[in-house]
Amino acid sequence: MSPNASTTPANTTPVRAMLVLGTRPEAIKLAPVARAMAASPHFQPLVVTTGQHREMLQQMLELLQVEAKFELDVMRERQELAKLTARLVEGLGEVVHAERPDLVIVQGDTTSALTGALAAFYEHIPVAHVEAGLRTGVLDNPFPEELNRRLIGRIARWHFAPTPRAAGHLTAEGVPAAEVFVTGNTVIDNLLWVLGQGAGRDHFRTDLRRVLVTLHRRENQGDKMRAMGKALRRLADRGDVEIVLPLHKSPAVREALLPELSDHPGIRIVEPLGYLDFSATLAGCDLVLTDSGGIQEEAPTLGKPALVLRTTTERPEAVEAGAAQLVGTEPQVILDAAMRLLDDEEAYRSMAKAGNPFGDGHATDRILAQLAEDFGVDAAAAPAPRPLAVPRPKGPGAYSTA
């Protein structure tokens, strides 16, 4: 698809790129791409927000210096996935049809990402997938993200994989190698940008051992999450630990965790933190317990050991590098793993110094360079992005605790 620069005139018309985002993680990971495109004469970013995490997005986009051109309003309380998907396909389809961008960029594995790719496909617009190739190998875990990213992998023209392993998943599934590009993860680009701004407030208040916890996964909700809440309470009973838990807006998450944790003096439950405050709090913690995906990528950059409270992970690179541990959802296992890291200095130091297998802060440069080449943009004056170097795995990793 790339034109031959020696025979093809350079394209001087800016490439109109529609970036679809609806959740906080999508905003975080597409923000550096949107900022770089807005600053370049070769690209015109058209940011569309779907409203999937509407309350979390509005202020954050302003802080991240990203301007949304289109805003959809599709969310309904406790909305079923089928209805959300239908609303998003219809709404995004109308925007894509009216704007006719040169490409649509989606990120990750949310319903917004899947429906953005579908809307583009229906209008014969090529799709670029940022953070492509993540897999657990279990179709319904995480649900529905594993299916979403596999489906996007069948639609996309550009697959921007964060790691060689992710790229290998794609080629093993039949994606042409010429369409797969290892870039690192844009979440690292944005984290380093934010910390460089010097903004954000650390929400820890003491000099005790600082533990940052995030829980929200659909497959963990209900009895599993209530049991994990009990484990967190027992961890706080040590007396030398301060736990900060930014509580997800999901009613199911709040119903599971608040009865277990709200009255413990060692546990601070706060409303969802803005990205700047969350980054500062992550930088200030000693240990992370999470069922999130993105934090598994951010924590190693800052030398923060991460315990992953899931039975599967699509980011085994962090486990293999020794920066994260997949501990599952059993309360006693979670408690034992956290206690070990808090009490065993050697074990803690080993994880903290493992390094980050997910990138070096230059993923955005690589993405824009590839798109510029494929659209025939004259970007010869821009420096070529340096090759990606990632830490070598220390041992065998695993997708699952099973």
Q: Which residues are catalytic?
A: 109, 131, 145, 216, 218, 248
Residue 23 CB: number of other CB atoms within 10 A? Answer: 22
- Using left for φ > 0, alpha for ψ between -120 and 50, and beta otherwise, residue 107 falls in beta
Residue among 194, 396, 209 at smallest CA distance from 275: 194
- What are phi and psi for residue 196, nearest 5 degrees? -70, -25
Helix, strand or coil, per DSSP, at residue 364: helix
Contact 112, 51 (CB under 8 A): no
Contact 262, 224 (CB under 8 A): no
Helix, strand or coil, per DSSP, at residue 326: strand
- Tokens coding 106: 């989606």
Residue type, 260: E
Residue type, 272: P
DSSP letter at 6? T
DSSP letter at 222? T
Q: Could you report how far apart the first and last alpha carbons of the chain are, in Å? A: 42
